[in-house]
């Protein structure tokens, strides 16, 4: 965390937040009283440790009690998926929508945006999706152009790119691969188009050491555009966005206090995995105090070559609930996905985690190989042993069996991770 000026500013804002919550939040009033917290005792950022963190289950079960304003002050209801089935509502006031715009304006500036840019938005602005409206209002504030096209339909995306000549696109990175495939088949020379950069949302394009992962490499090898990753969630109403250095998402200390906590709610050191825990600043509708997001990241607090000194967050390593403790190592599904995606021998996979007879996690990989051979089996086992230091169980399956594994429920997306732990 940035010492000095930023700490003083954050402590002042924290003081205002505590006062505001103690007066307006039914949930936090109760939390303070139940835990005998006197908000006057919380003066510095390190005093935050006196307040027990809350999580998504709290936010879901007590959703309405987080609202600090009368209903007539709510300007927009956004939502995010909950852990217990029904969605979680985040209500924003007019003031919060302005704050959201400022947050995204800062993010676009960080990602080398200017009024000279035109952004093609390949995502939805409907379905109570906060990010869509955040990008839209941030770009408006930036003075850049907007093409609000929505997700999917590569043919329409390309027709529009060629006609309106946007300089940047905003999308999930796996969709960029689809755009590349479509362009190649349609004879469009992608490196000769107006698009020079992409804001990548929802999926990682880098490893935790900030080098490009398989997806990031596949995109940039084919299409010579600059990728900027951004990480945010509806609850935090604030984004971490990369600058041109591509060394993690920059923190905005004036809008949020971030802590990375271990399993005992202690702060982790730089470059150690911890749960992203946030305290929103300047939020009026549903401010959050020490809210555990469930996302596991690492942070780097060394100054960035871009000149910014606020800490940077790594790509999300995984969800806390999906953490696998396997033979003394800690793993998250995305790292395994990445490992398996790197090998040409493996056409497709499903990872299953289950509890063995002595209560420990076991990992079983269902693999569809490009060729059913002993040589491939030997290579895969040697590779996994070298990269993981432990050997998961492997079961080779046919294309038909893989299909059955991946589409067990009524989901439209293939399942890559099955958690059968008891």
Binding residues (CB under 5 A) for Zn ion: these are: 243, 245, 304, 306, 308
Residue whose C-alpha is closest to residue 122's, from 141, 143, 148, 146? 148
Quote the Cα angle for 164-168-170, to 5°.
Answer: 110
For Zn ion, give the closer residue by CB, 108 or 366. 108
For Zn ion, give the closer residue by CB, 306 or 418. 306
CA gap 182, 167 in Å, rounded? 19
Tell the smallest beta-carbon distance from residue 227 to Zn ion (Å): 14
For Zn ion, give the closer residue by CB, 108 or 175. 108
- Residues forming a β-bridge with 279: 257
For Zn ion, give the closer residue by CB, 243 or 311. 243
For Zn ion, give the closer residue by CB, 249 or 318. 249
**Burial class (CB within 10 angstroms; exposed 0-12, middle 13-18, buried 19+) of 124:** middle
> What is the CB-side half-sphere exposure of residue 137 using CA atoms within 13 A?
16
Tell the smallest beta-carbon distance from residue 192 to Zn ion (Å): 29
| Residue 367 zone, left/alpha/beta (φ > 0; ψ -120 to 50; rest) | beta
Q: Where are the alpha helices (DSSP H) in 342-419?
A: 374-388, 399-406
Residues in the chain: 422
For Zn ion, give the closer residue by CB, 308 or 421. 308
Contact 58, 27 (CB under 8 A): yes
For Zn ion, give the closer residue by CB, 304 or 380. 304
Nearby residues of 50 by Cβ (< 8 Å), 6 or more positions away: 37, 41, 42
- Residues forming a β-bridge with 121: 148, 170
Segment holding 98, helix H or strand E: helix 94-110
Tell the smallest beta-carbon distance from residue 367 to Zn ion (Å): 39
Tell the smallest beta-carbon distance from residue 230 to Zn ion (Å): 13
Contact 259, 290 (CB under 8 A): yes
Tell the smallest beta-carbon distance from residue 259 to Zn ion (Å): 21
CA–chain centroid gap for 357, Å, is 34
Tell the smallest beta-carbon distance from residue 86 to Zn ion (Å): 39
Tell the smallest beta-carbon distance from residue 39 to Zn ion (Å): 35
Contact 8, 47 (CB under 8 A): no
Tell the smallest beta-carbon distance from residue 308 to Zn ion (Å): 5
Tell the smallest beta-carbon distance from residue 289 to Zn ion (Å): 28
CA gap 376, 392 in Å, rounded? 16
CA gap 231, 251 in Å, rounded? 10
CA gap 8, 180 in Å, rounded? 47
């Amino acid at each position: 965390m940035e010492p000095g000026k930023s700490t003083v500013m954050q402590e002042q804002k924290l003081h205002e937040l505590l006062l505001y919550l103690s007066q307006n939040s039914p949930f936090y009033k109760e939390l303070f009283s139940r835990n005998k917290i006197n908000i006057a005792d919380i003066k510095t950022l390190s005093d935050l440790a006196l307040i027990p963190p809350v999580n998504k289950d709290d936010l879901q079960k007590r959703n309405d009690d987080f609202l600090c304003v009368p209903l007539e002050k709510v300007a927009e209801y956004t939502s995010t998926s909950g852990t217990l089935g029904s969605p979680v509502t985040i209500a924003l006031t007019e003031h919060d929508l302005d704050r959201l715009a400022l947050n995204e304006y800062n993010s676009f500036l960080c990602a080398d945006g200017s009024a000279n840019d035109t952004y093609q938005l390949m995502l939805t602005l409907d379905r109570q999706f906060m990010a869509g409206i955040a990008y839209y209002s941030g770009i408006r504030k930036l003075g850049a152009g907007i093409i609000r096209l929505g997700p999917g339909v590569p043919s329409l995306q390309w027709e529009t790119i060629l006609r309106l000549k946007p300089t940047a696109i905003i999308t999930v990175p796996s969709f960029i691969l689809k755009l590349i495939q479509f362009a190649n088949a349609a004879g469009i020379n992608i490196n000769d188009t107006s698009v020079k950069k992409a804001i990548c949302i929802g999926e990682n394009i880098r490893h935790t050491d900030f080098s490009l992962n398989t997806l990031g490499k596949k995109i940039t090898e084919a299409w010579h555009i600059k990728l900027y990753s951004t990480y945010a969630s509806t609850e935090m109403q604030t984004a971490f966005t990369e600058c041109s250095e591509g060394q993690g998402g920059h923190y905005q200390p004036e809008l949020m206090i971030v802590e990375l906590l271990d399993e005992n709610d202690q702060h982790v050191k730089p470059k150690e995995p911890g749960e992203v825990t946030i305290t929103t600043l300047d939020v009026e509708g549903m401010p959050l105090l020490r809210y555990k997001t469930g996302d596991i990241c690492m942070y780097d607090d060394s100054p960035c070559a871009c000149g910014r000194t606020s800490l940077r967050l790594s790509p999300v390593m995984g969800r806390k609930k999906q953490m696998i403790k396997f033979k003394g190592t800690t793993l998250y599904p995305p790292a395994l996905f990445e490992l398996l995606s790197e090998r040409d021998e493996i056409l497709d996979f499903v990872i299953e985690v289950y509890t063995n007879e002595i209560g420990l996690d076991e990992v079983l990989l269902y693999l569809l190989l490009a060729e059913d051979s002993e040589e491939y089996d030997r290579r895969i086992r040697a590779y996994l042993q070298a990269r993981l230091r432990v050997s998961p169980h492997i079961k080779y399956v046919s294309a038909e069996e893989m299909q059955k594994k991946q589409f067990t429920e009524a989901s439209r997306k293939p399942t890559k991770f099955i958690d059968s732990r008891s």
